[in-house]
Structure 1
Amino acid sequence: MNSVSKTNEVNELLKGSNVLNQLSVSQLVEKVIERNEGVLTSTGAVRATTGKYTGRSPKDKYIVEEESVKDKIDWGAVNQPISEQIFANLLNKVLDFLKAKEEVFVFRGFAGADTKYRLPIQVINEYAWHNLFAHQLFIRPTQEELASHEAGFTIISAPNFKADPAIDGTTSETFIIISFEKRIVLIGGTEYAGEIKKSVFSLMNYLLPESGILSMHCSANVGREGDVALFFGLSGTGKTTLSADPNRRLIGDDEHGWSNNGVFNIEGGCYAKCINLSREKEPQIFDAIRFGSVLENVILDNDSRIADYDDGSLTENTRAAYPLQAIDNIVDPSVAGHPQAIVFLTADASGVLPPIAKLSKEQAMYHFLSGYTSKLAGTERGVTTPEATFSTCFGSPFLPLPATRYAAMLGEKISQHNASVFLVNTGWTGGEYGVGSRMKLSYTRSMVHAALDGELNNIETKKDEVFGLDIPLHVPGVPDHVLQPNQTWENQEEYYAKAKELANKFRENFNKFKNVAPEIIEKGGPVA
């Protein structure tokens, strides 16, 4: 993980008199204000806006088709190939663009909290606020570590350099390109800082499995007895809310590796959604947004500079970036043992999946490869009714390797460490969206606590007739009938029709794995 990345062109840039290396948080905040890149909020956080790109640009993400990786990458709509020549031309243009800037900012740090597996990175930014973002999101080096730091990968971000598709070979003005041989990530044409974070995650999703380590898009926490739990789930399923537990310490909220030693956070900070944020609902996040934190696209009162987290007029995807140390009750460093419990979260708008179910290893691999939830109206432009959505391994936009490779590694880890796996539905009960109601958070918390405390490991269960899942008959704090989804519906015919409709959607989505995962389909998928 420590191989050095230095090209002559990048070295030439880094020697320039306009390069500002490893500025402190205070210095970067001063630069943001001085350069009119952002403003200070009432809590001392920096607020910046990102222009027309307020989220990732998945159609503009590429991997260079290089000899050493071309037979390993899962090429397709997520991992689009681009030629070495196109990359080289764009790299030279971006470097010339940055050399001409009055100031360029460089952060050096790490991805991976376990020192045995961490990746030394350097982030080169056109914007001071992007460099502050990198400082808060990645792992910050000690002075001793900085003295011997040699970057294994370089991330270069130049938002104001816009590609010309007709000349540069891209599909738009925006590009996010990974070169594994040059060990460079090149980002241009977008001010959205999340591209920097997720590019590093994509790197780790290639590098870690190549070193025998499972990379995961999940949150993780640890109980008082040292018991570790993982939470997988797409947006809106409650991953952040349920993993933030006052009785458990947070390891990390988004990206982790699972090695032979246990789990470790890939990042050094959090990048939390903050639409409708309140101290009452999420006090840890609310109180973490202070001096040095970065707010993206959050609306402020012009005079008081108080953030209006309920205002989504720029985007619903408002974000806050802050270091893990801004949160109380964390594991520091972010390293822990092997998980005893794994929770897959889904928000099923059809109201037919059980609120909690125990999964066999094959069922775990099936639901991991499916990555199911419901996309609700209002969460994305053009979505007017709930839609079933599947994101492989709960993170398909960031997986360079075939999904079955990650699933096979998860299955091996489950068997090796005897981890219990649960599917938790935080979605609808008593009917589909518009008819039934959202599962009570208090019930979900009770179910998750029971799962993590081991109370469900030997409890009596009932087999779901459609999905073949083992549903506990009793969970402390939850009415028994709530646990059986069919018992919450008034019309049983409607329930079974809707359940079989969802089961067929699972099958249709899983068709892409029919030739590589037949045993998982047979033992892990729906039964009716």
Structure 2
Amino acid sequence: MSTISFATELEHILRGENVHLDLPVSKLVERSLMRNEGALTSTGALSVATGKYTGRSPKDKFIVMEDSVKDKIDWGSVNQPIEKEVFTKLYNKVMNYLKEQEELFVFRGFAGADKSYRLPIQVINEYAWHNLFAKQLFIRPSQEELVDHEAEFTVISAPNFKADPEVDGTRSETFIIVSFEERVVLIGGTEYAGEMKKSIFSIMNYLLPEQDVLSMHCSANAGKEGDVALFFGLSGTGKTTLSADPNRYLIGDDEHGWSNNGVFNVEGGCYAKCVNLSYEKEPEIWNAIRFGSVLENVVLDEKTGNPDYDDTCLTENTRVAYPLEAIPNTLMPSIAGHPNTIIFLTADAFGVLPPISKLTKEQAMYHFLSGYTSKLAGTERGVTEPEATFSTCFGAPFLPLPARRYAEMLGEKIAQHDAQVFLVNTGWSGGPYGVGKRMNLAYTRAMIQAALQGELNSAEFSVDPIFGLNVPVHCPGVPDEVLQPKLTWANGEEYDKKAQELANKFKENFEKFDNVTEDIKNAGPNV
């Protein structure tokens, strides 16, 4: 199938009588309810269940092996190749399937708040609630922008179309396939809406560096004086929670670009975890769950419609999607200057990393390349309890290019703009997972506040003997003993043993980076 026939087939679908184009939020909610796709909560949010897949399916994600990208992609277990012929046949099947549906829903919008780098996209959905999700997560155009809107990438999501691996060449019934030449993302066999969001992010992670823009898996906010902070981290480490600060302006909660102009959000909404959500701990997110928001896999009380955020019988990975405007102090448009402070968030399941430490530039590069954290339950299929993992650049599942490309760009920008970098452990304290407790959120907020206000730049530090990190001796609002993880353990020898175990994992993981300087290699733990 040639590019022309791909485009022709797509145009044929979009002109179909079964297509609802750019429906407003109210109509999408109405269609979702009429189609029995979900129910309204007591606050008016749309509550849906995603079936057996309640997280991403990374082993079912592929990139089409095409001439224009085959020498650029970092092929491997993350970026799995699939032949063009296999993709073409599956594309034709999905398109024929969609033609037979009574209704299709299409959203047109953008990825990238900075107009110099934004990507016009369109999303074609079998489900009304998926289209509502897309409308809330991506950047919504004005009526004037819609007049000249020409999509440069199309996401096609057909959750009820299930592949036959023996016939279709996939690994399972589920598939997420990106074709950079045909500018298409093809999704089937899964109802988990996060696949759409992360597919566009992966595409931006390919396109932006080609324009000398660093794409980043991070949240971002700005102070009232214009100072900017970035929060890097994988799902569940606290990016959304910690960037939603009532005293700062939210730029975005998950995906950003850093150009020569400054920082901009890739998205127009937030996708926050809901597990154990409470008004007391996270009032901004709590209040954002209202009409137009989409709750995924949250159990409702049948009589009252009240969500039970503590009930994880469906999944630990309960989520809510809402537009940026649902957060009162959002910066609109979501564009800001160059970062002053960069925070690497890690959920350490070993319970041995300090809750906060200040990094040298070399340590920053080491920990960015390492990307240590724990996969938290539910974020991927099959993950039922925290697993220690190293995700390069805190975003390996979404990086099509070699990690060195992103790391070098970050290092250059840290040096150019003299950004201060901190490593913050939002994981366990007092022992490993199953023994210790998750870090107190109030303490984490206090430490980040101190970092953002510059109170830790000239603080007294002690050097962690195993990890070599500069740990503040005092921090406003945090007990001194909490800052020293060994003091929170009942048994100091057990701490040393566990810390050495993690240090060894760091060393083993970093051996794959054979092309970095000795200064960066030596910035890791002491083994």
CA separation of 1:22 and 1:520: change in aligned 2, threshold 3 A: farther
Residue equivalent to 1:243: 243
Residue equivalent to 2:510: 510
Answer whether contact 2:163 2:175 (CA < 8 A) is retained. yes
Offset, 1:388: 2.1
CA separation of 1:165 and 1:481: change in aligned 2, threshold 3 A: closer
Q: Structure 2: how far apart are the matches of 1:225 and 1:28?
A: 39
Alignment of 1:360-509 (within 5 A): 360-375=360-375, 387-433=387-433, 436-489=436-489, 491-509=491-509
CA separation of 1:163 and 1:463: change in aligned 2, threshold 3 A: same
2:220 partner letter: A
Q: Structure 2: how far apart are the matches of 1:105 and 1:5?
A: 22
Answer whether contact 2:110 2:141 (CA < 8 A) is retained. yes
Alignment of 1:95-110 (within 5 A): 95-110=95-110
Alignment of 1:300-339 (within 5 A): 300-339=300-339
Q: Structure 2: how far apart are the matches of 1:431 and 1:189?
A: 40
Residue equivalent to 1:344: 344
Moved more, 173-182 or 490-499: 490-499
Offset, 1:381: 8.0
Deviation track 1:387-428 (CA, whole Å, cap 9, x = no partner) reads: 422222111111111111111111111001100000112334
Answer whether contact 1:373 1:388 (CA < 8 A) is retained. yes
1:12 equivalent to 2:12? Answer: yes
CA separation of 1:378 and 1:273: change in aligned 2, threshold 3 A: closer
Alignment of 1:159-308 (within 5 A): 159-308=159-308
Q: Structure 2: how far apart are the matches of 1:347 and 1:382?
A: 19
User: Secondary structure of the equivalent of 1:351?
Assistant: coil
Offset, 1:429: 3.7
User: Secondary structure of the equivalent of 1:67?
Assistant: coil
Task: Determine what percentage of the aligned residue pairs are the same residue.
Answer: 73
Residue equivalent to 2:157: 157
Residue equivalent to 2:525: 526
Answer whether contact 1:108 1:140 (CA < 8 A) is retained. yes
Answer whether contact 2:317 2:377 (CA < 8 A) is retained. no
Residue equivalent to 1:25: 25
Answer whether contact 2:78 2:396 (CA < 8 A) is retained. yes
Offset, 1:322: 0.9
1:517 partner letter: V
1:60 partner letter: D
Q: Structure 2: how far apart are the matches of 1:487 and 1:290?
A: 43
Answer whether contact 1:297 1:319 (CA < 8 A) is retained. yes
Q: Structure 2: how far apart are the matches of 1:439 and 1:272?
A: 19
Answer whether contact 1:162 1:189 (CA < 8 A) is retained. yes
Q: Structure 1: how far apart are the matches of 2:398 and 2:167?
A: 27
Offset, 1:87: 0.9
Offset, 1:488: 4.4
Offset, 1:438: 4.2
* TM-score, normalised via structure 2 length: 0.94
Q: Structure 1: how far apart are the matches of 2:144 and 2:159?
A: 32
* TM-score, normalised via structure 1 length: 0.94
User: Secondary structure of the equivalent of 2:178?
Assistant: strand
Residue equivalent to 1:147: 147
Q: Structure 1: how far apart are the matches of 2:434 and 2:97?
A: 52
Gaps of 5+ in 1: none
CA separation of 1:72 and 1:277: change in aligned 2, threshold 3 A: same
Moved more, 59-68 or 518-527: 518-527
Moved more, 289-298 or 198-207: 289-298
Answer whether contact 1:5 1:152 (CA < 8 A) is retained. no
User: Secondary structure of the equivalent of 1:20?
Assistant: strand
Q: Structure 1: how far apart are the matches of 2:138 and 2:120?
A: 10
Deviation track 1:430-451 (CA, whole Å, cap 9, x = no partner) reads: 4444555544333322221111
1:64 equivalent to 2:49? Answer: no
Q: Structure 2: how far apart are the matches of 1:376 and 1:24?
A: 35
Offset, 1:352: 2.5
Moved more, 129-138 or 518-527: 518-527
User: Secondary structure of the equivalent of 1:350?
Assistant: coil
User: Secondary structure of the equivalent of 2:105?
Assistant: strand
Root-mean-square deviation (CA), in Å?
A: 2.2
Q: Structure 1: how far apart are the matches of 2:249 and 2:82?
A: 42
User: Secondary structure of the equivalent of 2:414?
Assistant: helix
Residue equivalent to 2:39: 39
Answer whether contact 2:214 2:258 (CA < 8 A) is retained. yes
Answer whether contact 1:41 1:47 (CA < 8 A) is retained. yes
Answer whether contact 2:374 2:388 (CA < 8 A) is retained. yes
Moved more, 6-15 or 190-199: 6-15
CA separation of 1:385 and 1:56: change in aligned 2, threshold 3 A: closer
Q: Structure 1: how far apart are the matches of 2:345 and 2:243?
A: 11
Alignment of 1:112-151 (within 5 A): 112-151=112-151
CA separation of 1:132 and 1:472: change in aligned 2, threshold 3 A: same
2:501 partner letter: E
CA separation of 1:131 and 1:490: change in aligned 2, threshold 3 A: closer
Q: Structure 2: how far apart are the matches of 1:423 and 1:318?
A: 26
CA separation of 1:394 and 1:190: change in aligned 2, threshold 3 A: same
Deviation track 1:162-213 (CA, whole Å, cap 9, x = no partner) reads: 1111111111111110000000001111111111111111111111111111
2:64 partner letter: V
CA separation of 1:437 and 1:519: change in aligned 2, threshold 3 A: same
User: Secondary structure of the equivalent of 1:524?
Assistant: coil
Gaps of 5+ in 2: none
Q: Structure 2: how far apart are the matches of 1:88 and 1:527?
A: 51
Residue equivalent to 2:78: 78
Answer whether contact 1:356 1:425 (CA < 8 A) is retained. yes
User: Secondary structure of the equivalent of 2:512?
Assistant: helix
Q: Structure 1: how far apart are the matches of 2:380 and 2:185?
A: 28
Q: Structure 2: how far apart are the matches of 1:56 and 1:434?
A: 25
Moved more, 21-30 or 66-75: 21-30
Answer whether contact 2:235 2:376 (CA < 8 A) is retained. no
